[in-house]
Structure 1
Amino acid sequence: MNIEGAVVLVTGANRGIGAAFVEQLKKRGAAKIYAGARDVSALDGEGIHALELDVTNPDHISAAVREAGDVQVLINNAGISTGTPLVTGPEEQIRREMDTNFYGPLLLTRAFAPVLAANGGGAILNLVSALSWFTSPGDGAYAASKAANWMLTDSTRLELASQGTHVVGVHMGLVDTDMVRGLDGPKVSPADLASAALDAIESGAQEVLGDDWARFIKSGLTLDPKARYEQILGAVAS
């Protein structure tokens, strides 16, 4: 489908990748952009409709459906990373990541699927991560939530095919945002990632590998776990 003239909802739209999506949508001529965020104070501009939207709050989601009944594209971008390991980390932090990174997109998809069907099928785009396919000792909660998001993406693609809804999963390594400010390594720009994701909606592609890291991690999925995690296991053993 074409972004030009489309009505789009972006979650987590007030900064980082979400803000980049809003800018890219404006450049591509989206007719209306619903910009969802917990803090909407900085969300304004022509064609932008701010929505107070905490993706873990069912009341916010219900209100968004009532206000944004013309949506044709849902971009599930909102996410968090707490750096919590699964075995020793606080359970409330693990649940917080699952609530935001998995249940948030799930509940929004369930809520907006009938809206998309009524508006011609449309598209859903989920910001997943290369860490849906790989983890490290400090990333357990985040990786688990993103692995669940990956399966959410695949499952809803199958479940919504009959209503003509196109579902896209975006996988990437480090993106140059506040979330990874303290981490070293190559980082893709939010604008480039958002542009590649929107290209997928327009072309009909079902998956975006947003950088070399995502492509590298996916290439190793057929390896035995011992081979995939050889460096990490070697460091632990030493």
Structure 2
Amino acid sequence: MDFTNVVALVTGANRGLGREFTRQLLERGARVYAAARRPETIDAPGAVPLRLDVTDASSIAAAAAAAPDVTLLVNNAGILTNAPLISGDFDDVYQEMETNYFGTLRVTRAFAPVLESNGGGSILNVLSVLSWFHPAQMGAYSASKAAGWALSNAAREELASRNISVTSLHVGYMDTAMAATVTDPKNDPATVATTALDGLARGATEVLADDITRQVKANLSTAG
């Protein structure tokens, strides 16, 4: 992929990994729509701020209409409530699935025709090592990311005939506001963004961004 020919839209682009995707895509020569619920918080010079709330269908439709030249969609927006599935607040559980799964699906459905109309393109879905490893204390988040993995795999097959590729990014904890209370080792979001974009450039369908993710994925076939 030659990023100088890419027009990207990044959701959740105002902080953390989304900000890094925006910055690095611009550095690689892409044009970038930086999407967020509050576009006034976008601080990447050269990016085009765009209002987009992945839980609001009308917001998504307006964004798709405002960005008709997109050829790369980065589904990065997400939330973490730390809700267990059984004992956690049900509203928190619902909100995680609504944002992390249905939000990604809504944006993908809205932008697939845009990508197709521009001759095809690519979708990058930001997932997690918790797509495959499901600790009880993060049950809601794990369920949403497991569903996101299924979404990525099914959408890849469905969209292939429309010349649209789908890549999933899996990574452990990152040093962002979302994981501010985590004391375990964390990845630098700049390194994760670089790894993901390099994988996208070479046509990878799946990017495993750190050692723990590679280890968990490798052990799937032996899990009992």
> Residues 166 and 201 of structure 1 are in contact (CA less than 8 Å); yes or no, is this contact kept in structure 2?
no
Aligned residue for 2:190? 191
Q: How many residues end up aligned between the 2 structures? A: 224
CA 1:45/1:18 → structure 2, altered by over 3 Å: closer, same or farther?
closer
Per-residue CA deviations over 1:95-119 (Å, capped at 9, x if unaligned) read: 1000110001101111111110111
In the TM superposition, residue 181 of structure 1 has moved relative to its aligned partner by: 1.6
- Structure 2 Cα separation of the partners of residues 175 and 14 of structure 1: 16
Aligned residue for 1:157? 156
- Structure 1 Cα separation of the partners of residues 108 and 11 of structure 2: 12
RMSD value, Cα: 1.1
In the TM superposition, residue 206 of structure 1 has moved relative to its aligned partner by: 0.6
In the TM superposition, residue 224 of structure 1 has moved relative to its aligned partner by: 3.3
- Structure 1 Cα separation of the partners of residues 35 and 158 of structure 2: 25
- Structure 1 Cα separation of the partners of residues 199 and 117 of structure 2: 22
Aligned residue for 1:233? none
Amino acid corresponding to residue 3 of structure 1 in structure 2: F
Per-residue CA deviations over 1:73-122 (Å, capped at 9, x if unaligned) read: 00000001100000111111111000110001101111111110111111
| Runs of 4 or more above 6 Å deviation | none
- Structure 1 Cα separation of the partners of residues 44 and 5 of structure 2: 17
Unaligned stretches of 5+ residues in structure 2:
none
- Structure 1 Cα separation of the partners of residues 163 and 223 of structure 2: 37
Aligned residue for 1:97? 96
- SS in structure 1 opposite 2:136? coil
Aligned residue for 1:3? 3
- Structure 1 Cα separation of the partners of residues 27 and 58 of structure 2: 32
In the TM superposition, residue 150 of structure 1 has moved relative to its aligned partner by: 0.3
Aligned residue for 1:67? 66
Amino acid corresponding to residue 16 of structure 1 in structure 2: G
Aligned residue for 2:12? 12
Q: When the two structures are superposed, what TM-score results if normalisation uses the length of structure 2? A: 0.97
Aligned: 1:25 with 2:25 = yes
> Residues 84 and 94 of structure 1 are in contact (CA less than 8 Å); yes or no, is this contact kept in structure 2?
yes
In the TM superposition, residue 44 of structure 1 has moved relative to its aligned partner by: 4.6
- Structure 2 Cα separation of the partners of residues 186 and 224 of structure 1: 24
Q: When the two structures are superposed, what TM-score results if normalisation uses the length of structure 1? A: 0.91
- SS in structure 2 opposite 1:123? strand
Matches within 5 A, 1:112-123: 112-123=111-122
In the TM superposition, residue 142 of structure 1 has moved relative to its aligned partner by: 0.2
Per-residue CA deviations over 1:7-53 (Å, capped at 9, x if unaligned) read: 000000000000000110111011x2111111222325543111111
Amino acid corresponding to residue 20 of structure 2 in structure 1: A
> Residues 8 and 72 of structure 2 are in contact (CA less than 8 Å); yes or no, is this contact kept in structure 1?
yes
Amino acid corresponding to residue 25 of structure 1 in structure 2: L
Amino acid corresponding to residue 167 of structure 1 in structure 2: V
- Structure 2 Cα separation of the partners of residues 183 and 58 of structure 1: 32
> Residues 34 and 48 of structure 2 are in contact (CA less than 8 Å); yes or no, is this contact kept in structure 1?
yes
Aligned residue for 1:219? 218
In the TM superposition, residue 188 of structure 1 has moved relative to its aligned partner by: 1.3
In the TM superposition, residue 5 of structure 1 has moved relative to its aligned partner by: 2.9
- Structure 1 Cα separation of the partners of residues 184 and 138 of structure 2: 16
Aligned residue for 1:201? 200
- Structure 1 Cα separation of the partners of residues 162 and 66 of structure 2: 22
Aligned: 1:167 with 2:166 = yes
> Residues 22 and 44 of structure 2 are in contact (CA less than 8 Å); yes or no, is this contact kept in structure 1?
no
